[in-house]
Structure 1
Amino acid sequence: MESKKRAVSLDRGRSIHEKRDGVPVRWVPVRLLEPDTIIRVRFALKQSNIEKLNDYLMDIAHSESKNYGQLWTQKQIIETFAALLAETITTVKDWLIAPWS
């Protein structure tokens, strides 16, 4: 079974939510990958304004709100809750490239 630990970051701007140490017990090495093998990896970046989600929902859901029933467009949702794209993506890319440069 893989080990899952919760870690605390010393950098207040970043935190580790989940960390895996070691290889799961049932995984067995079969062969080495070819040097040109592409491994697809997905990173989840922190969304912006997520702490305001309840307020935004109540603003359109409460019958006494001036914004009652005014549903958001997909564009509004993306612009409001997307990760801080430029800075965040650049930071992740730099981190990924650093060992190779």
Structure 2
Amino acid sequence: MAGFLAGILAILGNPKAVLFYIGVLPGFFDLRTVTAVDVLLILGVSVLIPLVGNLVMAAFVGRVRALITTSGALQRINTGAGVLLILVGLLLPFT
């Protein structure tokens, strides 16, 4: 529950979201004609789209984590990172 509440506070405190919902979103609607059903639809879409996006991202991260946590994959990642660092070190004198 603590993690859930922290997530809610992080979302509600996000200045980009606040600016969007206060400054941008009202420009798409005639606020004199918005009904309660319209507000519920806007709220539903505003919840559903990020929820689906976050669930897809979580599933993707879970699969990637399973792929890169094997010892062979970690060895290849470390070797590749080391080679790239050496190449950057060799290129620095020429920039």
Tell me the TM-score normalised to structure 1 length: 0.28
The structure number with the bigger radius of gyration is 2
Larger strand fraction of residues: 1
Q: Normalized against structure 2, the TM-score is what? A: 0.29
Name the structure with the higher helix share.
2
Relative contact order (alpha carbons < 8 A, sep ≥ 6): 1 or 2 greater? 1
